[in-house]
Amino acid sequence: MSIDIIKSVINEFLSYFVPQKIKYKIEGSCIKCGKCCREIRSYRLKNEKELKFMQFFLPHYRRFFITGKDEYNNLILSCIYLKTNGECSVYEKRPRLCKNYPVKTINFNARLIEGCGFRIIKKEFKDYL
Q: Does some domain include residue 9?
A: no
What is the mean pLDDT of the segment spanning 86-102?
A: 88
Q: What is the pTM of this model?
A: 0.68
Average pLDDT over residues 56-69: 90
Within the chain, how many helices (H) and strands (E) appear? 5, 7
Strand ranges of the sheet holding 75-79, from the earlier edge strand across to the other edge: 40-41, 75-79, 64-69
When pLDDT is cut at 50, 70 and 90, the band that residue 49 belongs to is: confident
pLDDT tens-digit readout, 105-125: 655 566 778 888 888 877 665
Mean pLDDT for all residues in the chain: 79
Structural domain total, the chain: 1
Answer yes or no: is 75 within a domain.
Answer: yes
Confidence at residue 70, expressed as pLDDT on a 0 to 100 scale: 86
- Does some domain include residue 48? yes
Residue 96 belongs to what domain range? 21-128
Strand partners for 28? 118
| Residue-wise pLDDT tens digits, 15-40 | 556 555 566 778 898 888 888 899 88
